[in-house]
Chain A
Amino acid sequence: MNYDAIKKRFIPMSETMLYILLSLKEEKHGYGVMLHVKELTCGRIVLGAGTIYQSLGKLEADGLICPTREIERKKLYLITKIGEQILIEESKRIKEICLNLEAVL
C-alpha cells in the first residue's frame, strides 16, 4: 500500500491506535504496551487483550510497526519509518486542534 492510502486509512487516528503507536517508539510486547499506555494516561486508558491483539495486527499488516524478536514466546514490536511519519502527521493535526481550542478553555 502506498503512503497516501495508509494516511487515508489511519488519519484521523483513534486514541487507542495513537497511544499504541506512540508506545512503540521503544520496543515492547503487547502487555508492555498496555502498561505503558496506562502509565502515560494516569490509568485512564487500560487496553484490553483483544483490543491490543487486533490493533497490533492491523498496524503490522499496514507496515506501521514491525515485529523485532520474541522473548519467552512474547512477540516484540517497534515502530517503522512509515509509522513514525504517520505519527508525526497525526501529531501536527492534533496540535492544530489544540491551538484552535485554546479559546474555549
Chain B
Amino acid sequence: MKNKKIFFFSVFKYVVPAEYEQWFEELATTGWHPAKIGQFSSIAMRFEKSEPRKYRYVVDMQATPKKNYKQTYEDFGWEYVGKMASAYVWRKEYTNERPESFSDNSSLKARNHRFIVAISVSFTIFVLSTLAFLAVAIFSDLSSSERLQFGIASALFLVFAVLLGLAMIKIKKNIDK
C-alpha cells in the first residue's frame, strides 16, 4: 500500500482558515500527516501515512511575529508543524474537548482578518499587473502579435485577481468561524 501522498494547491481549495484546519484534522484521523510544511507547501504538500491521530490543527497568519510568538504556542502545548509564507500551522493532540487557540470571538475574527489582509496584498499586485499588461496591449506601438501576448497575460492575471477576490469574500463571509 502506498504510504506517501502529495496534495496540490490545498490552500486554494480551502481558503477559509477553519475549513483548512478541518481538512488537516480529517486526514489525521485516517493516519495521513504532513511530512513537512514549508514555503512551497501551498503548491504541493507531501503527506505520509502512519497511525491515525486525533489532532486539533490551527492555522495563523503572522506577517511580523514577535520573538515570543512561537514560545507562547509551545507553552500552551502546541506543536509547530511549519509555515508557508506567513501562515503558521500548529497542531495539538487531544482526547475529549477540541482545544482552541482563539478562545474568544474578537481574536478569532482578528485571525481571519489577518488572512484577508495578506490576500489583499497579492490581490492588489495582480490587479495592477492586469492593468499594466492591458495598457501595453492597447496603447503601445508593438506589432499585433506582441499586443496579443500582452492581452493574454492581462487576462491570466485578471483570472488570478478574481480568484483572490473571491477568496477574500469567502473568508469575510466566514469571519466568525
Closest to A29 in B: B75
> Which A residues contact B (CB, under 8 angstroms)?
14-16, 29-31, 34, 45-55, 57, 73-75
Distance between Cα atoms of A14 and B75 in the complex (Å): 24
B66 close to A (CB within 8 Å): yes
Partner pick for A48 among B67, B101, B106, CB 8 A cutoff: B101
Size range of the chain B interface in the assembly: 20 to 34
Q: A50-B101, A50-B102 are in contact. List 7 more A-B contacts (CB 8 A).
A: A16-B104, A30-B68, A30-B75, A34-B76, A50-B107, A54-B111, A74-B68
Q: Are B71 and A73 in contact (CB under 8 A)?
A: yes
Among candidates A16, A57, A74, residue contacting B75 with C-beta atoms closer than 8 Å: A74
The answer on a CB contact under 8 Å between B66 and A48 is no
Does any Cβ of A come within 8 Å of B96's Cβ?
A: no
Residues of A within 8 A of B48 (CB): none
Q: Please give the distance in Å from A2's CB to the nearest CB on chain B.
A: 24
Contact, CB under 8 Å: B110 / A74: no
**Chain B residues whose C-beta falls within 8 Å of the C-beta of A54 in the assembled complex:** 107, 110-111
Q: How far is the CB of A72 from chain B (nearest CB, A)?
A: 9
Against A, the Cβ 8 Å flags (1 = close, 0 = not) of B62-77 are 0000111101110110
B73 touches A49 (CB 8 A): yes
Q: Given A16-B106, A48-B100, A48-B101, are A53 and B69 also a contact pair (CB < 8 Å)?
A: yes
**A51 to B108 CA separation, bound complex (whole angstroms):** 8
Residues of B within 8 A of A45 (CB): 103
